[in-house]
Amino acid sequence: MEYEDMFPYEGRLEVLRATNAYSPDEIKQILDLAKSNGLEVIPLVQTFGHMEFVLKHQQFSSLREVSCTPNAINPHKEQSLELLQCLTDQVMALHPEAQCLHIGADEVHLLGSGEESQEWLKVQGNNLDKLFVSHVKKVAERVLSAHPHLTLIIWDDMLRGMSQDLLKDSGIADVIQPMIWDYNPTLDVERTVLLIEKYQQSGLSKLWLASSFKGSTEVNQSLTCIGNHLANHTQWLKVVTALPKDTTELQGIAITGWQRYDHFSVLCELLPVGLPSLAACLQTLQHGEFNEEAQRTFQQALGVVNVEADTFVREDFGSFPGSEVARLINHINAYLKSTVDGFLEGNRYAIGWFSPYHRKKRIVHPIMLQQFEPEAKGLLLKWELVAQNLQAAMDLLYYPDTVEEWLDEHVNPALDPLRGFLQDLQEATEQLS
């Protein structure tokens, strides 16, 4: 569970809280619901890269690795370690039963580019790999000193290019367990098996895997293509099958569901849209493939009749919580832009008698007006009603800023040209009288 600014940080960290951040009681409700459903929550706190939600604030900007970007924290400052300890301590205080903590550390952009890092790298024997490992070890040791019962996990991407000797000599295996992530439907099985073997021979015997059930496709994706994610899980199953059973200590797989690519990016698929994909991926892992038995369980759980894994277009969205949001988003994605563009670019009367030039001069033929005005008004009325229904359905699940963002990203850009057309038409009509 990666909270970022939705966590109710306190004290000097209170500035990190979003307007609609969870309260401590809401965090407890989440944990109680998880426990009652047989789920264990592993909180994730970024401690190196992807720290935009912290470092974007002026109070902490001096701790950036590179002053112009808030991605990575400066690994050389004692204040950085103190800040990270404060973050993890506050998160763990509200997760008293957690046995694991994920400390992130993926995609540390511009690692070693800061002035202090540049000086450090000039010392003979120092390099970027050692810089990364050194920081992760310091963070891990601080966390474990305060919470010795925890198992610490990190994303593995910054470790992949490191030599076996460096990994073994660094001692990092004593404090962390890597989570190997790959969300590609064409995941390279052979290369991944070799990577796992390298980690094991480096002392990193306890490993986690990470797939995805939504997100990871396109940064502004609005619908989840189940087929892509099923293929990703099928490839991961091939990896597991190819590993020697007597030496492999796989701890589990994280079926990740992204909401944004990073703190500053747009929303990708909302959870209601991605839930069918999650159900299909879970069944695939349980049965080894998305076979008939897996599909039957999928259909029963979601209340759907047909399974459409390879297409976005669905008419049957079942009866699961959030299915109305999923249905309306699918409808908007499939038809909104095409119908509006079809009118503005395909109605011969609108094109011929209310062109961009006519609109600029506010000129319209009163007889020809009747050939396209009713269709334009009817089209706008229809889609604004759909948008209102979606907003009402989303209001039950999301805070207002999320609803506003989604509509501004996916509805208004398609409807605004039609609104502008009708506004110009109204002004032109008024000049006729």
What percent helix, strand, coil does the chain show, rounded to 5?
Answer: 55, 10, 35
Could you give the CA distance from residue 366 to residue 353 in angstroms, rounded to a whole number? 10
The alpha carbons of the chain give a radius of gyration, in whole angstroms, of 26
Q: Is 90 exposed, middle or buried (0-12, 13-18, 19+ CB in 10 A)?
A: middle
CB-based contact 27:17 (threshold 8 Å): no
259's tokens: 């909401």
> What does the alpha-carbon distance between residue 138 and residue 47 come to, in Å, rounded to a whole number?
11
Q: What DSSP letter does each residue of 177-240 carry, written as one string?
A: EEEEE---TT--HHHHHHHHHHHHHTT--EEEEEEEEESSS-TT--S--HHHHHHHHHHHHHHH
Structure tokens at 326: 């999923």
Catalytic residue among 40, 78, 82, 107: 107
Q: Let me know: does 8 contact 21? Beta carbons within 8 Å.
A: yes
Nearest of 139, 191, 192, 196 to residue 167 by alpha carbon? 196
Residue found by looking up tokens 């490992």 in the block: 133
- Bridge partners of 249, per DSSP, are 206
Helices 226-242, 189-201: axis angle to 10 degrees equals 50
CA angle 52, 122, 175 (to 5 degrees): 55
Q: b/e per residue, 29-64, with b = 16+ CB within 10 A?
A: ebbeeeeeeeeebbbbbbbbbbbbbbbbeeebeebb
Residue with token string 């390279």: 188
Please say if 26 is a catalytic residue: no
Q: Which residues are catalytic?
A: 107
